[in-house]
Every structure is written in C-alpha cells, then in structure tokens.
Amino acid sequence: MSKNGFNGVKMKAVRFIAEGLINSFRMPQTSVFQLTYLAPTKTQVAGFLANIMGKTEEEYYQLLDDIKVGIVPLYIESIFNDAWTFKKWKASGAGRDILQREKIYRGKFLIYTSAEEPLLGDIMKFLRYPSRIPSLGMDDELVLIRDIKKIEMEPKDDSVVHSVFTYNEGMKYEYCPKGDNVPLFPPRIITVNLNFDRKVTPRKPTDFVQVVESLGFEFDVRENKRVHLDREYAYNVEMI
C-alpha cells in the first residue's frame, strides 16, 4: 500500500497515552444536544498541556501555535448520553431547560506532540510531573497519563494512515480493521478548528479543516500524504 519511502530529517516528538473513565470532546457547532468527537482535537490537547504546565490563557494560544499534534484513538468502550436540567432566565420569568451531552466511557488515546526545544522537554517534564490535575475535555473529566516517551519519527510520503487525518474535498479512501480486537467506530468526516480569533469576545474559532476520525481502522487514502512513522507501534501518523 505504501507508495514512497522515507523522505527528510527525523522529527522529535513526545508520545503518551491519555486514559479516562468519562470524557467528552464537544463539537462546538452543537449546543442543546452536544455531540462529542471520537478523539480530542489539537485545540483540546493544547488546552490539556497548558493546564498541566500551569500556563495562562495567553500562553495557551502561544502553545497552540508552537506544537503539532497527532492522535490515534486506541479504545472506546461506549458512548452514552448525559442529561441535566438548568435554570433559564427570560424577560417573562424563570424556567428550566434540559441539556444533553454525549460522553465517552473508558476512552484511551495515543497522543503525539512535536515542538522545538526547550518546549518539547518542558512538555515531557510536565507530563511526568503535572503542576495541575490532568483533565481532558471538561474540567472534571480526569485522565491518567501513561507510557510517556520521547521518540524520533521518520517523515515519509505514504498512502497508509493510522491516525486522525486531514481530508481534502474529493479525496477517496479505503479502510479495513487493524485487527486490534477493539470496538469499531466507522470513519466520519468532521470539521475542527485549529486556532481562535482572540480579538473578539467571546473568542471565535478560526482555521477550520476537515478531518477523518474513527476507531480501529487502517486507511489507504489512495494518494501520498506526509506522515511520520512511529516504528514501535508501526503507525503512520499525520501531525496537524
């Protein structure tokens, strides 16, 4: 399935596993019934890192500019709906409304981050010794951080992808189960933002891209895509 070999200088990255009991990664386009992505997005991973590194909001935005992120969903036991009521104040008086949110039960995600030094070393340090309680998704959705490792990834042009990857209009792809004996979530094309306009209040998402997310599948996108190989897992990962 591979079409080209290695091409370029190895990239240094920090790889780790984030594992939670209950997490949710809300699609910002949804409100009353809040849907979840199958995996955290780049902005959410940056928020997770900024939190454990004790950074301010402005420092978060700088971190978002300085890192690239690759994500491979490893396991999701199930997705369920959580519902709660809240008070709603109107000119005509008070009332109640119901909010529903999709939640991921027992999710496990392989996350790659790349950056220049000394930032990459700082990320490694705070993953091992967080300055705040690690949460991914909502503030009370805690995660365990496991298997932290600094690695080198080999850049290559290849048609095979194992991670969440960017989708271009008209792109065709084939996919098959990776054989990891995990629950399968079929691929879907979603829209995510990579940055924010901070000059307005509230901030507005910017730099939208379409990505393909799934769980348990290997993809052949039928065209060359720049990916980075993690030899230990034998995963081709697109860094976004």
Helix ranges restricted to H, 96-138: 119-128
- Farthest-apart Cα atoms in the chain, separation: 67
Q: Mind listing the pLDDT tens digit of every residue in the chain (240 residues)?
A: 344 455 678 999 999 999 999 999 999 888 778 899 999 999 999 999 999 999 999 999 999 999 999 999 999 999 999 987 777 666 655 667 788 899 999 999 999 999 999 999 999 999 999 999 999 999 999 999 999 999 999 999 999 999 999 999 999 999 999 887 889 999 999 999 999 999 898 899 999 999 999 999 999 999 999 999 999 999 999 999
Distances (CA, A) of 237 to 23, 158, 194: 23, 10, 17
The HSE-up count of residue 7 (CA atoms within 13 Å, CB side) is: 10
**Counts for the chain of helices (H) and strands (E), in that order:** 3, 11
Tens-digit pLDDT profile for residues 19-42? 999 999 999 888 778 899 999 999
What amino acid occupies position 95?
Answer: G
Listed residue (11, 23, 50) closest to 144, CA to CA: 23
Q: Alpha-carbon distance 240 to 229, whole Å?
A: 14
Tens-digit pLDDT profile for residues 58-102? 999 999 999 999 999 999 999 999 987 777 666 655 667 788 899
Determine the pLDDT at residue 2.
Answer: 41
| Cα dihedral: 229, 37, 135, 47 (round 10) | 70
> Domains of the chain (ranges plus CATH)?
11-237 (3.30.70.2660)
DSSP 143-191: EEEEEEEEEEEEEEEEEEE-S-EE--TT---EEEE-S-----EEEEEEE
This prediction's pTM: 0.91
Map residue 41 onto helix, strand or coil: coil
Listed residue (72, 98, 68, 94) closest to 85, CA to CA: 98
